[in-house]
């Protein structure tokens, strides 16, 4: 009997769940090129996130607020601990640090314009402060990074706050690399390196090691700026309880906690997907650290990494954050990965929504590039307006949800307003699984 004559059906072809198409393509790519994959953005795999939480809303036991009549405050003040001039923002959504170099000057200007229209801050990145960005940003946070590219006391004094970057969610423990193809004359000049060479950013600061040194470093920055500027500390989410405890000890005014969904201009795929923890799992330990020290709401907590909409904002604030920060979402608002550019993404062997080779400098949207031809595609005024619109929608959405929970300010949201859809989200966010009183694994550090 031949195979075709047998009586039972042949089994369907079955692909391995372990060796899925992506894993196989990575093996083939590595074998062909001999180099690990580098890309931009944050973790792309399915992770527990804010969609796994729900707000409970008011009913018999709580009063809601009228959606269109009763006030729901959105303002936040950052840096109330030591700074003479705290940052007073209209909304609790800030723009995260992204460098001129990884982004075009037009993109940086657009971020400044959009943030200013919405009454919030934007942040420099690993490459110094550009006049366009300072000029168009009502509130500008100046990042103080290990590389110190572009760092100088004049720009430090022009800043509204200083953010010392210890790490970021996409790569806690990692430095950076801006590949040579993005090093234009202007980028090279700002970073004081020859044009066209890879610009490495160290993973450790050059003049301090550990929290005790950092305390002295923060004191120096305060002295240089006469104690005016709020000092932020940015950490990638990995051991948030201990890192936030040390940040408070070191004297931070504000802590920025970036989950593994937070984007990067470029780093190894293996780093992005396998180091750090999701934002959802990082907030409660961070808040607990602040509460244990009696510093919750005194040292403000900004969280970032995968924030997309007003629901994410409301849930992050309910877990105890004072504000959120957006990077990837802000770039999308400017025009990144827009399907309108699909034919150009196809030429780059990708598709709208998946383009992440930002380090190659070929971005058809003119955002993650230094090519003069491409950068002029982004109108900073129009793109800034789009960002402002997006920020306003997020704020309105968060207010809508907060009013439904009976809150007259976004900061009045609390963990008791939340429930979890999955056991893992319940454990990570330390809120009960929906319909139960069960918080799995609740414990203290």
Partner 1 sequence: MPTFDLAINPVRDLNAALHKLPADTNETLWTVSNPGGEHAIAVGVDAPLTINVDGNVGYYCGGMNKQANIVIEGSAGQGVGENMMSGRIHVKGDASQSAGATARGGLLIVEGNASARCGISMKGIDIIVKGDIGHLSAFMGQNGRLIVFGEAGEALGDSLYEAHLYVRGPVASLGADCVEKELRDEHKSELIELLRAAGEAGKIDVSEFRRYGSARKLYNFNIDNVGAY
Query: Which residues are at the interface with partner 1 (CB under 8 A)?
Result: 33-35, 147-148, 151-153, 156, 177, 179-180, 192-194, 196-198, 200, 202, 206-208, 213, 216-217, 219-220, 223-227
CB 72 within 8 A of CB 399: yes
Q: What is the closest distance, in whole angstroms, from the C-beta atom of residue 153 to partner 1 in the complex?
A: 4
Backbone phi, then psi, for 76, in 5-degree steps? -145, 140
Q: What is the closest distance, in whole angstroms, from the C-beta atom of residue 193 to partner 1 in the complex?
A: 6
| Residue among 190 and 427 whose Cβ is closer to partner 1 | 190
| Residue among 217 and 409 whose Cβ is closer to partner 1 | 217
The encoded tokens of residue 204 equal 């450790």
Q: What is the closest distance, in whole angstroms, from the C-beta atom of residue 310 to partner 1 in the complex?
A: 40
Q: What is the closest distance, in whole angstroms, from the C-beta atom of residue 27 to partner 1 in the complex?
A: 16
| Residue among 227 and 309 whose Cβ is closer to partner 1 | 227
CB 174 within 8 A of CB 181: no
| Residue among 219 and 350 whose Cβ is closer to partner 1 | 219
Q: What is the closest distance, in whole angstroms, from the C-beta atom of residue 180 to partner 1 in the complex?
A: 5
Q: What is the closest distance, in whole angstroms, from the C-beta atom of residue 115 to partner 1 in the complex?
A: 27
Q: What is the closest distance, in whole angstroms, from the C-beta atom of residue 254 to partner 1 in the complex?
A: 21
Q: At what angle do helices 279-292 and 240-250 cross, to 10 degrees?
A: 40
Distance CA 334, CA 366 (A): 10
Q: What is the closest distance, in whole angstroms, from the C-beta atom of residue 246 to partner 1 in the complex?
A: 18
Distance CA 56, CA 419 (A): 7
The encoded tokens of residue 413 equal 């949201």
Q: Which residues contact 22 (CB under 8 A, 6 or more apart)?
A: none
Backbone phi, then psi, for 210, in 5-degree steps? 90, 165
The H-or-E segment that residue 388 falls in is: helix 380-404
Q: What is the closest distance, in whole angstroms, from the C-beta atom of residue 189 to partner 1 in the complex?
A: 12
The encoded tokens of residue 254 equal 């504000």
| Residue among 220 and 414 whose Cβ is closer to partner 1 | 220
| Residue among 45 and 158 whose Cβ is closer to partner 1 | 158
| Residue among 215 and 273 whose Cβ is closer to partner 1 | 215
| Residue among 179 and 348 whose Cβ is closer to partner 1 | 179
Give 64-128 as a DSSP string. Answer: ---TTTS--B--EEE--SS-SS-EEESSSEEEPB--BTTB-HHHHHHHHHHHHHHT-EEE-BTTB
| Residue among 153 and 372 whose Cβ is closer to partner 1 | 153
Distance CA 113, CA 106 (A): 10
**Which phi-psi region, left, alpha or beta, contains residue 113 (left: φ > 0; alpha: ψ -120 to 50)?**
alpha
Kindly provide the b/e burial profile for residues 312-336, where b requires at least 16 CB atoms within 10 angstroms of the residue's own CB: bbbbbbbbbbbbbbbbbbbbbbbbb
Helical segments of 151-267, H only: 153-158, 185-191, 210-224, 240-250
């Amino acid at each position: 009997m031949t195979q075709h004559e047998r009586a039972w059906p042949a089994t369907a072809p079955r692909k391995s769940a372990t060796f899925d198409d992506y894993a196989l393509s990575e093996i083939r790519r590595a074998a062909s090129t001999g180099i690990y994959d580098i890309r931009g953005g944050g973790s792309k795999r399915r992770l527990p996130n804010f969609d796994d939480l729900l707000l409970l809303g008011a009913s018999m036991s709580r009063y809601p607020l009228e959606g269109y009549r009763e006030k729901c405050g959105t303002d936040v003040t950052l840096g109330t601990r030591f700074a003479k001039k705290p940052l007073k923002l209209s909304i609790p959504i800030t723009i995260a640090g992204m460098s001129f170099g990884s982004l075009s000057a037009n993109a940086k200007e657009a971020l400044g314009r959009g943030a200013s229209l919405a009454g919030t801050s934007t942040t420099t990145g690993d490459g110094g402060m550009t006049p366009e960005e300072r000029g168009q940003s009502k509130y500008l946070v100046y990042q103080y990074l290990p590389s110190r590219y572009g760092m100088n006391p004049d720009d430090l004094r022009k800043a509204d706050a200083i953010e010392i970057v210890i790490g970021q969610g996409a790569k806690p423990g990692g430095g950076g690399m801006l590949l040579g193809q993005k090093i234009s004359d202007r980028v090279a000049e700002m970073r004081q390196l020859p044009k066209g060479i890879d610009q490495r950013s160290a993973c450790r600061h050059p003049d301090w090691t550990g929290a005790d040194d950092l305390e002295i470093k923060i004191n120096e920055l305060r002295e240089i700026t006469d104690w005016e500027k709020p000092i932020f500390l940015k950490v990638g989410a990995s051991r948030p309880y201990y890192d936030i405890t040390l940040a408070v000890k070191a004297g931070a005014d504000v802590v920025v906690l970036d989950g593994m969904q937070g984007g990067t201009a470029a780093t190894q795929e293996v780093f992005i997907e396998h180091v750090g923890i999701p934002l959802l799992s990082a907030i409660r330990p961070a808040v607990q650290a602040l509460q244990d020290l009696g510093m919750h709401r005194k040292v403000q907590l900004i969280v970032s990494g995968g924030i997309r909409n007003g629901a994410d904002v409301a849930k992050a604030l309910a877990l105890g954050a004072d504000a959120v920060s957006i990077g990837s979402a802000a770039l999308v608002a400017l025009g990144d990965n827009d399907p309108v550019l699909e034919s150009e993404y196809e030429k780059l062997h990708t598709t709208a929504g998946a383009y992440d080779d930002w380090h190659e400098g070929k971005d058809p949207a003119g955002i993650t590039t230094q090519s003069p031809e491409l950068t002029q595609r982004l109108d900073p005024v129009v793109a800034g307006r789009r960002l402002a619109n997006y920020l306003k929608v997020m704020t309105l959405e968060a207010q809508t949800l907060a009013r439904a929970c009976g809150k007259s300010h976004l900061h009045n949201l609390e963990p008791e307003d939340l429930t979890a859809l999955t056991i893992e989200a319940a454990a990570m966010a330390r809120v009960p699984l929906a319909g139960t009183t069960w918080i799995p694994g609740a414990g203290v550090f």
